[in-house]
Chains A and B, each alone.
Chain A
Amino acid sequence: MSAIKLKNIVKRYGDGFPAVNDVSIDIADGEFVILVGPSGCGKSTLLRMIVGLEDITDGELSIGEKVVNDLPPRERNLAMVFQNYALYPHLSVYENIAFPLRLAKAPDDEVDTKVREASATLELDEHLERKPGNLSGGQRQRVAMGRAIVREADAFLFDEPLSNLDAKLRGQMRTEIARLQKKLGITTVYVTHDQTEAMTLGDRVAVLKKGVLQQLATPRELYENPGNLFVAGFIGSPPMNFLPAEVEGTQLKLPFGTVEIGEEKAAKGRDKGLLIAGIRPEHFEDASLSDKASDGSTFSAPVDFVEWLGHETYAYVPFEAPAEVKERLAELEKDLDGEGLRTQLVVSLDGATTIKQGEDAKLWVDASKIHLFDPSSGENLTVDAEHAGEIHGRAMAEAAALPD
């Protein structure tokens, strides 16, 4: 087991296009780090550079104390689980798991002990003699993991290991992976585009956009203190709401009314003209159900659609945004692999709410949780820097400057 250090890693392809741009991450021994971002953000390339399947154009990669930039994959002693499992179809499950040991010329009895140990951990015992072609997706996934855990590798690397499974199995395997990692205490780097996996699995999460590291922090820090619009929009489901806003005194002017935000926050956004306010859906509440509804942060808004999920209710409130903000949000939506269909507010209310679609609803917003973003740079003006991990200043602007 070892720490992995990425220092100013750059990957440039033949056409000069930087797929990974100056990324530095220190992964501690035994830590579970997630690389997350929309498709094409360079997360897989970064992982493949760590494992040695992709050359490093510039920068320094060390595992333990050793710089491994120029070592072939087999000398890095890392185990990897591929997105499509990459099992050896001509070998039985047993031989698939034993493959790394056989390559290392381990004696037969040692191979047998280790394979059986791994198969017991992964509950593959009754499948050992079968061929991968006869296994279900989840079983194949476990075989791929067995192949990784059977050898005492310095670290595990996962490349979107769950993206080929159906939703239910994905949830189970996610827990399984987390449990296994905690049990083995092995350094792990995990690539995904799924923010739920990122939030639930990682000790720390690195959010990437177009090969530029945006923020590296714990899931909680990312959620509560996103460094910029991109991170804010990427982490969380349903995503954070972005509204055009302006600070006047200690008041924040939103499309539906004004909200008192206090001097400290207001000072950060004052005299900056039009801003983007970011408010998470759950920071709203049905004013009639809230006992805090009297502190001046209530407003009335037309609800055009309601989704009742039992424990909570999503209400959709359309609003008009000035062209400048609209354009910015459409751009952001594109970066996040989504489509900017309409500007609307999604609020998550208690399941007990009686708000109906087509009605005007009285909503309360938790003003202390509002973030203010600079529309041009995308930076979070109200970030609590002490609880935001590493934010890479101007990362969003840097990424935006790169060609698509």
Chain B
Amino acid sequence: MKRKIGLVVGVALVLVWCLLPVAWILALSFKSQAAVSNGSDPGFLPLDSFAGWSNYADVWADEQFRRAILNSIGISLISTLLSVIIATLAAYAIARLEFRGKKAVLSVALAIAMFPVVSLVSPLFDLWRTIGLYDTWPGLILPYMSFTLPLAIWTLTAFFREIPWEMEQAAQVDGATSWQAFRKVIVPLAAPGVFTAAILTFFFAWNDFVFGITLTSTEAARPIPAALSFFVGPDPFQRPASLLAAAAVIATIPIVLIVLVFQRKIVAGLTSGAVKG
């Protein structure tokens, strides 16, 4: 009984710790702009200053904001897709094939993942401007991929290693080419790994601020976190705090959706029943 109470209290504490900022932003997004500026409603809940959906409507009416959301969704999805495809193939090769420099590939990948992002920004800025990638989608997709690939490769390699060799051999005896065996047996079995890698990659791309703000200059490619920092309300001398809060909430929605969708796919023990064990 005592332990149960402890557990409940502990869980509650963690929940408050994690969700308080979210709740704060949500509350803020429903307060009226004026009340936030002159501090007339300092409470947590928007009581006197309840603004309804007006902040959301205002933000959504902003052409730049819609454009930034589109950029973010497009760039994140494309880098996730490419990253997962390349990582799947690479991880399969690392897990299954014997080749020289296998260890080197893995350690270099890890080293890249540990490389500080900031140190790459200025060289990339110069390079991208020279070759014309500055302020374009590919200009962001490329650095996102190079930072998420190592993690994806490591995750997937671990998953592929867990899949028994026999699965593939059975498929080959059943008449499959190596490619068919990979596509019809190995990839479905590695699905939890593939989706884990996809979520990690998507998060990285969606949340990135440093690349987003330095490698873009216009709404042609500027993603949402960078766009938020440039966000100005109708009055340039007043920080539009409640508008920003509403924008932040909207920017969170795709992440929540993605997690909900992918989470179902990350079912542990999908390989159970393949072999006796």
Contacts and interface: CB of A to CB of B under 8 A. Distances in A.
B171 to A, nearest CB: 8
Contacts of A137: 276
Contact of A84 (B164, B269, B272): B164
Given A86-B167, A90-B270, A137-B276, A53 B176 contact: no
B54 interface: no
A255 to B, nearest CB: 45
Interface residues of A, number: 31
B189 A74 contact: no
A49 interface: no
Nearest to B272: A133
Contact of A86 (B169, B176, B272): B169
Given A82-B166, A84-B166, A89 B173 contact: no
Interface string B243-277: 00000000000000000000000000111111111
Contacts of A133: 269, 272-274
B12 interface: no
Contacts of B175: 74, 100, 103-104, 151
B188 to A, nearest CB: 4
A82 B188 contact: no
A100 B174 contact: yes
A103 B180 contact: yes
A132 B273 contact: yes
A81 to B, nearest CB: 9
B168 to A, nearest CB: 9
A196 interface: no
B220 interface: no
Given A53-B169, A86-B166, A147 B273 contact: no
Contacts of B270: 89-90
Interface residues of B, number: 27
A84 B276 contact: yes
Contacts of A84: 164, 166, 275-277
Given A82-B166, A90-B189, A73 B273 contact: no
Max chain A Cβ within 10 angstroms of own Cβ: one of B171, B172, B184, B273: B273
A135 to B, nearest CB: 7
A86 B164 contact: yes
| Residue of A72, A79, A103, A147 with most chain B CB atoms under a 10 A cut-off | A103
A305 interface: no
B160 to A, nearest CB: 15
A333 B275 CA distance: 32
Nearest to A53: B169
A222 B173 CA distance: 32
Looking at B164, B171, B173, B276, the one whose CB has the most chain A CB atoms below 10 A away is B173
A9 interface: no
A78 B174 CA distance: 8
A99 B174 contact: yes
A272 B176 CA distance: 59
A132 B169 CA distance: 18
A87 B176 contact: no
A366 B129 CA distance: 98
A78 B175 CA distance: 9
Given A53-B173, A73-B173, A89 B272 contact: yes
A151 B164 CA distance: 24
B185 A88 contact: yes
Contacts of B176: 74, 103
Interface in A52-90: 52-53, 72-74, 78-80, 82, 84-90
A74 B271 contact: no
Contacts of B185: 88
- Of the listed residues A74, A87, A100, A133, the one surrounded by the most CB atoms of chain B closer than 10 A to its CB is A74
Interface in B3-60: none
B177 interface: yes
Contact of A87 (B169, B173, B188, B273): B273
> Most chain-B CB neighbours within 10 Å: which of A80, A88, A134, A137?
A88
B174 A103 contact: yes
A80 B169 CA distance: 10
Contact of A74 (B173, B273, B274): B173
Interface string B47-86: 0000000000000000000000000000000000000000
B89 interface: no
A89 B271 contact: yes
B170 interface: yes
A164 interface: yes
Nearest to A87: B274
A164 B189 CA distance: 23
24 contacts: A51-B173, A73-B172, A79-B173, A80-B173, A82-B166, A82-B169, A84-B166, A84-B276, A85-B275, A86-B170, A86-B275, A88-B167, A88-B171, A88-B274, A89-B189, A89-B273, A90-B189, A99-B184, A100-B175, A133-B269, A133-B273, A133-B274, A147-B170, A164-B276
For the complex of A and B, list the 3 residue pairs with the smallest distance between their C-beta atoms, beginning with the closest.
A133-B273, A84-B275, A86-B166
